[in-house]
Amino acid sequence: MTNCPIKSLLTLSLVTLVTGCGASDLGPSGTVEGKLLLNGNPVMGGKITFVGNKGFGGWSKIGSDGTFKLINGNGRPAIPTGDYQVMFGPLPLKPMSTPSDEDLIKNPERSKQPEGDTKAFPKIFRAQATSPLRATVNEGSNELTIKAMTR
């Protein structure tokens, strides 16, 4: 009976290894890659986000040719199947060169700059409240073309 805790620990370790340590938490899932077009032209740069009725689904940087490949909140390429609202916009602000404390007091915005041309992303597509874009993710591999139109 002295080796019983060791046997239990080994069994638990084996079960965790076989089940993939939370890999099945998503339920049915799919991978998503594709192309984002604005008025028929590839969107160059920025980020695309998928939000479902259960919350965040996935996001990706948009390549210079409009291509994207979603990852979920854990950095994995699968998101749950279902219907999603799609938004896209500039990447978040990123730090510039480190300004002095005195410069920051005079000009707080000096510490950040947008990555990419923010004018290239119509405001309607940037927020969940306003984006009309929708997509459905099916189990397995999904290749989507998201077509955003402003005219």
3-38 pLDDT, tens digit per residue, is 554 544 434 333 333 333 334 467 899 999 999 999
| Residue 141 banded pLDDT, cuts 50, 70, 90 | very high
Which CA distances in Å does 38 have to 41, 65, 96, 97, 117? 5, 12, 29, 32, 14
CB 49, CB 59: distance < 8 Å: yes
Query: pLDDT tens digits, residue range 68-108?
Result: 999 999 999 999 999 999 999 998 755 545 555 665 566 65
Class of domain 28-148: mainly beta
pTM (2 d.p.)? 0.69
Residue 104: the pLDDT is: 56
